[in-house]
Amino acid sequence: MLPLLLKNLSYHLLLQDGKIEAEVKLTGILSLGALQPGEVRKYGTTIAPGLYAPVHQHFFVARMDMAVDCKPGGTHNQVVEVNVIVEEPGDDNVHSNAFYAEEKLLKTELEAMCDCNPSTARHWIVRNTRAVNRTGQLTGYKLVPGSNCQRLARPEAKFLRRAAFLKHNLWVTPYSHDEKFPGGEFPNQNPRVGEGLATWVRENRPLEETDIVLWYVFGVTHVPRLEDWPVMPVEHIGFTLMPHGFFNCSPAIDVPLSSCDSDVKENGMITKPCHNGLVAKL
Ligand SMILES: [Cu+2]
């Protein structure tokens, strides 16, 4: 990571289909270096005559104290990792195009140090172990990564001593009142190594039926463009929490009409005029 003057804005949206979208907007003024006439830098982009902006990364950590379908005082959650796997050749895959979603229960903190993997559509589901939907499956909410990256540094890089949480995209811990900051209480100039998440998970506490805390680490690798100078246009990154078997059907089917819509009877059916002129029959 390199210092960058940034003005960050983050927010989340609760949508009518039960999704929660979290978003961070990045903008600001690039941190620049000077160039000699004719000089170019391997580690940055020449952004204007005599100026270059280093390639760098920005990281954020979302701490989410989950309580999926929990009654007050209830703490019966678990986390599974889901990967979509290409089937082996054979009778179950005669056309070589079969694939399926494979789940793995994350039983302990050390098992739950995970990284994003778009090639398997990897995501994670937090489930209530004592609540089921109408098919008898456990109710849950899934964490769907947005665009993301991993730290571009060798394991021995000095900054990882104080930012060890960058070693993975997802960490899972059981709730503890004192565990709020992934880099520890005092990361700046702290001589101690691995404060925060990297130390806590060494206890390898069980996660099978407890109050789950997700720590989602997400970031962007910023290769500066000429268009980022003199003021960088907003870049968006984030993630989504999405109901997964939490509801028995789409929670968006009974959304009331907006006040500007009017019901129209047509052949005995209620039709809903849409803004684009099409008519949806409900
Ligand atoms: Cu940047």
Q: pLDDT digits over 217-234, tens only? A: 999 999 999 999 999 999
* Per-residue confidence in pLDDT tens, the chain, 282 aa: 222 333 345 666 788 899 999 999 999 999 999 999 999 999 999 999 999 999 999 999 999 999 999 988 888 999 999 999 999 999 999 999 999 999 999 999 999 999 999 999 999 999 999 999 999 999 999 999 999 999 999 999 999 998 999 999 999 999 999 999 999 988 777 778 888 999 999 999 999 999 999 999 999 999 999 999 999 999 999 999 999 999 999 988 887 777 665 555 555 555 554 444 443 333
What distance in angstroms lies between residue 45's CA and the mean position of ligand 1's atoms? Answer: 12
Please give the order of strands across the beta sheet that includes 279-281. 264-266, 269-273, 279-281
The pLDDT of residue 278 is 40
What distance in angstroms lies between residue 226's CA and the mean position of ligand 1's atoms? Answer: 13
Structural domains in the chain plus CATH codes: 5-250 (2.70.98.20)
pTM of the model: 0.87
What distance in angstroms lies between residue 221's CA and the mean position of ligand 1's atoms? Answer: 7
**How far, in Å, are 14, 118, 281 from residue 268 at the CA level?**
34, 47, 11
What distance in angstroms lies between residue 26's CA and the mean position of ligand 1's atoms? Answer: 8
Q: What is the average pLDDT value for the chain, to the nearest integer?
A: 89
What distance in angstroms lies between residue 163's CA and the mean position of ligand 1's atoms? Answer: 18
What distance in angstroms lies between residue 123's CA and the mean position of ligand 1's atoms? Answer: 26
Q: Which residues touch 46 (CB under 8 Å, ≥6 apart)?
A: 35, 40, 52
pLDDT (tens digit, 9 = 90+) per residue, 246-263?
999 998 888 777 766 555
DSSP-derived 3-state class of residue 237: strand
DSSP-derived 3-state class of residue 216: strand
How far apart, in Å, do the first and last CA atoms of the chain sit?
Answer: 51
**Residue 125's Cα: distance from chain center in Å?**
12
What distance in angstroms lies between residue 30's CA and the mean position of ligand 1's atoms? Answer: 7
Q: How far apart are CA 89 and CA 212, in angstroms?
A: 38
